[in-house]
Chains A and B, each alone.
Chain A
């Protein structure tokens, strides 16, 4: 593995620990970057250390101490020395506990909860998480979210500034606060995955984001084994990702669930996801991510779309709606309802949601369009496909909607 690849893999863990030592995010990142410079010079000749993470943290910490000694003005040196003293004492304690482990498992949890603190807005949470835990460079993150690099850079600078100015504490929330503090963390990881999951022409970046989302979900699930929703999120992402190869055709167009070649589904990911879902069901502390994972588990056992157990899925959506009665959940439930009770029933359920604020949501119009199409109401279906198309910037989604619209029976859509 190249030096770059090693650093990228270790970045989150090392930055997390160095933030604890140095009490500052910028200082931690600079320290790791310093260590990288040393590694690039030394590793080719000395060979890669057996525990690169430990090497990086030790080297980075030493370089940071050197840097502070060189650059400090007297007063600053006193303040920093006090902090470093405290940090050095902490580090010595940690060494006593686990001499071969430079990093404490809690460090990455501290970092995730800091990046996803509710005092930061969600775009900032996402950017910080990808940067500090994912080790992604600012240009990569900017490209992934279709914003200019300078915008993304400013977003990250402002977020770090807020963390510093407000003395946002570097800690894992206490037991009592965990449920509310966990929500934004799960939402950010899901968002990162979902950004990659919506297939586009720039497929390389997208698969990277899916992989990153799953990696973060694994870290969360490992570090919080008693949090069923963290397990649920991982299961959901694994099951969604298992379908990746079947979701995009050779020409880059989207293949819907109904048309996917299920032989291309990744059975390993499915098995892993299903095992987690089973464990969650046993535990019986249901939550939204666990239920969504269960829905996808039902899909993953069906040999074909026609053989899907839609009754089971409808039941799960009923359960999900009881927990989180949002319009989007109601919409997904209506789609399942259509499979069980027919498109007319599904359409009635969707039309009930007209005033629920889904007018700006393209899937609302796309789902309506699909049901109208199945009922032979082509003119209305065409209008709905157009409405959906206007609401998504994703070229692959648009192409799909265009194809569906063009395939409508011409006689009914002659008025267009």
Chain B
């Protein structure tokens, strides 16, 4: 069993669907959460209120606190699930149910389980120079 993040992305206004369908999607998400829990796949989940977000960073010796989400884009992270699944295909099956329930695209990401030195090897080329991790 491995953990995957199922992230819900949407534009600030939410999906472009009629109110009845919006209401239905809440019910569908509840049902989805029950299914996840019943299968032992549910780890954690929640919706996010990113218009009420605050950014904290360090600049020089000081901490800077700013109002608003980190990115200026119209799209933001509306919520997420952390699930347990045997492999990617299993995670994708859950993601299909999730996207049907919330009427929004779902991004499925694995977690980085590499050890620090394994990571460093990947980030450097044969000459030990840093390279683009992407």
Q: Which residues of A contact B (CB under 8 A)?
A: 119, 165-169, 171
Kindly specify which of B62-70, B71-79, B84-92, B97-105 makes contact with the partner chain. Answer: B84-92
B86, B88, B91, B108 — which one has the most chain A CB atoms within 10 A of its CB? B88
Interface residue? B15 (CB, 8 A): no
A264 to chain B, nearest CB (A): 47
> Which chain B residues lie closer than 8 Å to A171 at the CB level?
89
Which residue of B has the minimal Cβ distance to A118? B92
Q: Are B92 and A167 neighbours in the complex by a CB distance under 8 Å?
A: no
Query: Interface residues, chain B, CB within 8 Å of chain A?
Result: 2, 86-89, 91-92, 108, 110, 112
Q: Is the interface of B mostly helix, strand, loop or mixed?
A: mixed
Q: Known contacts A167-B2, A168-B87; is A119 also within 8 Å of B110 by CB?
A: no
Distance of B119 from chain A, by nearest CB (Å): 12
Question: For the complex, would chain A's binding face be called helix, strand, loop or mixed by DSSP majority?
Answer: loop
Measured in the bound complex, the distance between the Cα atoms of B89 and A167 in whole Å is 9
Taking a contact as CB atoms under 8 Å apart, the answer to whether B110 and A165 are in contact is: yes
Q: Tell me the smallest distance from the CB of A219 to a CB of chain B, in Å.
A: 23
Closest chain A residue to B93, Cβ basis: A177
> A165 to chain B: which residues have CB within 8 Å?
110, 112
Q: What distance in Å separates the Cβ of A171 from its nearest Cβ neighbour in chain B?
A: 8
Q: Which residue of A lies closest to B134 (CB)?
A: A158
Give the distance in Å from the alpha carbon of A168 to the alpha carbon of B2 in the complex.
Answer: 11
Contacts of A167 in B (CB 8 A): 2, 86-88, 110
- Given the complex of chains A and B, what is the CA–CA distance between A57 and B110 in angstroms? 32
Q: Which chain B residue lies CB-closest to A177? A: B89
Residues on A with beta carbons closer than 8 Å to the beta carbon of B87? 167-169
Q: Give the most central of A119, A165, A168, A169: most B CB within 10 Å.
A: A165
Complex CA–CA separation, A171 to B88 (angstroms): 12
Nearest to B122 among chain A residues (CB) is A161
Query: Measured between C-beta atoms, what is the minimum distance from B120 to chain A in Å?
Result: 15
Query: Which residues of chain B are within 8 angstroms of A166 by Cβ–Cβ distance?
Result: 88, 91, 108, 110
A166 to B112, CA, bound (A): 10
**A150 CB → nearest B CB, Å:** 11
In addition to A168-B89, A171-B89, 15 A-B residue pairs with Cβ atoms within 8 Å of each other are A119-B88, A119-B92, A165-B110, A165-B112, A166-B91, A166-B108, A166-B110, A167-B86, A167-B87, A167-B110, A168-B87, A168-B88, A169-B86, A169-B87, A169-B88
Chain B nearest CB from A229 CB (Å) reads 22
Between A and B, 9 residue pairs with Cβ closer than 8 Å are A119-B88, A166-B88, A166-B108, A166-B110, A167-B86, A167-B88, A168-B87, A168-B89, A169-B88
Closest B residue to A75 by CB, please name it. B115
Report the bound CA distance from A363 to B87 in whole Å. Answer: 42
Chain A residue numbers with a CB within 8 Å of B108 are 166
B91: which A residues are within 8 A, CB to CB?
A: 166
* Complex CA–CA separation, A145 to B47 (angstroms): 44
